[in-house]
């Protein structure tokens, strides 16, 4: 879990969790370089029994990205 006010990717300060889904979370964040609020989506990997490999996690991420692209998100 990512805690409030934590800086991720050396840039974005987390403000709050906006929602959770089957593969991760969406968090409201602040980009201080551009002085704007934004949303960050993160994948949350399960334990070794849940995901067989890093390749499976990558494939899961690609499917999710494709689905969002097709939906116009």
- Does residue 50 sit within a domain? yes
Provide the CATH number for the domain around residue 28.
Answer: 3.30.200
Strands, sheet with 36-43, edge to edge from the N-terminal-most edge strand: 7-8, 12-20, 24-31, 36-43
2-7 average pLDDT score:
80
Are residues 15 and 30 in contact, defined by beta-carbon separation less than 8 angstroms? Answer: yes
Q: Which pLDDT tens digit goes with each residue over 33-65?
A: 999 999 888 876 666 555 556 667 777 778 888
14-40 average pLDDT score:
89
Are residues 11 and 31 in contact, defined by beta-carbon separation less than 8 angstroms? Answer: yes
- Residue range of the domain that includes 56: 7-71
Is the pLDDT assigned to residue 3 strictly greater than 60? yes
Q: What is the pLDDT of residue 36?
A: 92
- Does residue 29 sit within a domain? yes
Q: What is the pLDDT of residue 2?
A: 59
CA atoms lying within 13 Å on the CB side of residue 51: 15
For residue 1, which of 24, 21, 23, 31 has the smallest C-alpha distance? Answer: 24
pTM of the predicted model as reported, rounded to 2 decimal places: 0.56
């Amino acid at each position: 879990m990512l805690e409030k006010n934590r800086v991720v990717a050396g840039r974005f300060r987390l403000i709050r969790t906006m929602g959770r889904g089957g593969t991760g979370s969406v968090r409201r964040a602040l980009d201080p370089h551009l002085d704007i609020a934004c949303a960050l989506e993160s994948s949350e990997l399960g334990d070794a029994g849940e995901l067989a490999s890093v390749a499976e996690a990558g494939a899961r991420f690609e499917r999710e990205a494709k689905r969002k692209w097709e939906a116009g998100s």
